[in-house]
Amino acid sequence: MFNEKIEISLDETHHVIGDKPLYAKRYYKVLSFHNGIAPVYELVNKKDKLLKAFFIDTNNKKLFMREFQKAFGFYEGLACVSDESGFYHILENGKDAYNKRFAWCGNFVEGACVVKNGKGKYFHIDIFGNPLYEYKFEYVGDYKYGIAVALLKNGKCIHIKRNGKRFHNEEYEFLEPFHKGIAVAKDEEGYFHIDKSGRALYKQRYAKLEPFYNGKAFGLDFDGNKILIDESSINLKSQSKILSDTNKNFIKNSISNEAFSFFRTRILYSILELNVLENLKSKSEIELEEYPKNLIFQWLINNGYINKNLKLTIKGNIALNLKPLISYWQNLPFIASLDLEKSLKYNTEYFSKRFGKPYFDYILNKINSNEAQKFSFISNFYTKDYDISSLQLFDETVCDIGCGSGILLDKINKKFPHIKTIYADKEDFRILKNKTFKKIDFFKPLHIKADVFIISRILHDWDDENAIKILKNISQYMNKNSMLLVFESIIDIKKLDNLDICFHLLNFLGGRERSLKEFEDIFSKSNLEIENITGGKLINIIKARKKL
């Protein structure tokens, strides 16, 4: 009797060979045979639907003299089971494979198995129950050709190796395992394919996409058209694809949709400003006329912010929490962008021309305190991009020039509790105001003594001339032992996919992102030299000292 011929009956109560039952008994549920062994379930208590699980052979003989709460098939010689002690694996002789217990177990694939610990974190174990690596993830998938998908705390997916380290440096909204060197990925714009370096094979995005099968990949565009991508038509070097008529239509529709896309965010902004989500959450009255109110409700339902019972979804609650962020971008930056054409034409900011003074002077006016609060919120929000793991401090005096909300120095102080902190800015926008604050102007003498100066995401707000003035003003108060830590993005404009922020900085502040060469140039002109550069994917830490 060959296992491959044994199948599960349509009602899943027994096994069959062809149309003949393998045995007379009927179970509550059966699972597939693996190596001549199958897990089955019997109903113990019909009222409570209490089940017990055990294993049988092809003669319907009960094996191992053991029963479980749950049991699954044998994969690579091990089966996942659970009892009152937790989840674990047993061998084909019915004995425990190891002594450890988990909150959940998967099946063994390529000598590794996904498990969940008591804290709700996921990782892989070997056949002895030992972790393959020290990292813990929000979720991980099975290994395929030595690479698995892992979910990070920030909600992004990565590919990991057997040691738990990243296979490449890219993070995406969704990832699938690699199949013949290519994987399906998803970003905020849609689905696409990536290679093993994590790079997109083309620029188009799709509503749905399958892996390549013998050189072909099926998908749907955002208009519901079925598309077929030919692997041979992908030019990796130029990141472009030979366009079929369907793809030309997709591009045309994509551009036309993009032309109107700004209005969707304007709708959300208006809904937030009208306090609709707050009122729905608190079950307060929404004082709008019937037509606009119903229009808003339907839009929120269609876009997943509320359900049909008018209760906020997870997405709705997140949008409500991000109201200051959305309000920031959709107010002053949006209004200033009306002059973007002029900013590009004359290579200058246009905020001051529209509002009468530069942005940072504008928000210092008490009349505009609400805008200052929004700025403090976004400063706090984007601090999550900062990786301070490479910093080495002990008891130094550390001054954050232009501290904003103070979150960065708070974060550093938490890691290095013995440092002495000085928060410095034009006005005190800090969330926690229990530490030393000094009122300063970037362009006037600082009169601050510190071992370490920090300047975070300030230089990109200014053109080279003003950035050099700021750096010179700091270097003036540095000695041979002082250190300057500059938190900034170092970019290569030719390789940067998202250039939108560069347009915003020019239009709004007259600032710019800079390449390493451009940083070296302004540092040199400020009597500073770069010692080393560390940091994460988005924000780098440039460590500089005064030239002797």
Q: Where are the domains of the chain?
A: 6-236, 249-330, 370-546
Percentage of the chain exceeding pLDDT 90: 75
pLDDT digits (tens, 9 = 90+) for 84-95: 999 999 999 999
Domain 370-546 CATH class label: alpha beta
Q: Do domains 6-236 and 370-546 have the same CATH topology?
A: no
Q: Measured on CA atoms in the order 28, 33, 36, 37, is the torsion positive or negative? A: negative
- CATH match of 6-236 with 2.130.10: yes
Task: Give the residue from 439, 391, 441, 458 showing the smallest Cα distance to 419.
Answer: 391
pLDDT of residue 236: 38
Give the Cα separation of 256 and 263 in Å (integer). Answer: 13
Q: Which residues contact 371 (CB under 8 A, 6 or more apart)?
A: 328, 331, 332, 362, 363
Q: What are the contacts of 33-40 at 24+ separation with CB within 8 A?
A: 33/3, 33/6, 33/58, 33/73, 34/3, 34/73, 34/74, 34/75, 34/79, 35/3, 35/74, 35/77, 35/92, 36/3, 37/63, 37/73, 37/74, 37/79, 37/92, 38/73, 39/71, 39/72, 39/73, 39/79
The answer to whether 190 and 219 have CB atoms below 8 angstroms apart is: no
> Residue 395 pLDDT more than 70?
yes
- 14-28, 74-88, 250-264: the lowest-pLDDT one: 250-264
Q: What is the pLDDT of residues 106-145, one digit of tens each?
A: 999 999 999 999 999 999 999 999 999 999 999 999 999 9
Taking only the tens place, the pLDDT of each residue in 224-250 is 788 888 887 764 333 333 344 555 666
pLDDT in tens, 325-351: 999 999 999 999 999 999 999 999 999
157: β partners: 151, 172
Contacts of 498 (CB under 8 A, 6+ apart): none
Q: How many Cα atoms within 13 Å fall on the side-chain side of residue 510?
A: 17
Residue 234 and residue 216 in contact, taking contact as beta carbons nearer than 8 Å: no
How high is the pLDDT of residue 344?
A: 96
Tell me how far CA of residue 280 lies from CA of 307, 392, 527, in angstroms.
11, 48, 57
> What does the pLDDT average to over 258-282?
94
Please tell me the distance from the alpha carbon of residue 168 to that of residue 196, in angstroms, as a whole number.
Answer: 7
Distance CA 354, CA 336 (A): 7
Cβ density class 350-373: b for 16+ within 10 Å, e for less: bbbeeeeeebbebbeeeebeebbe
Pick from 157-171, 477-491, 492-506, 534-548: least confident: 492-506
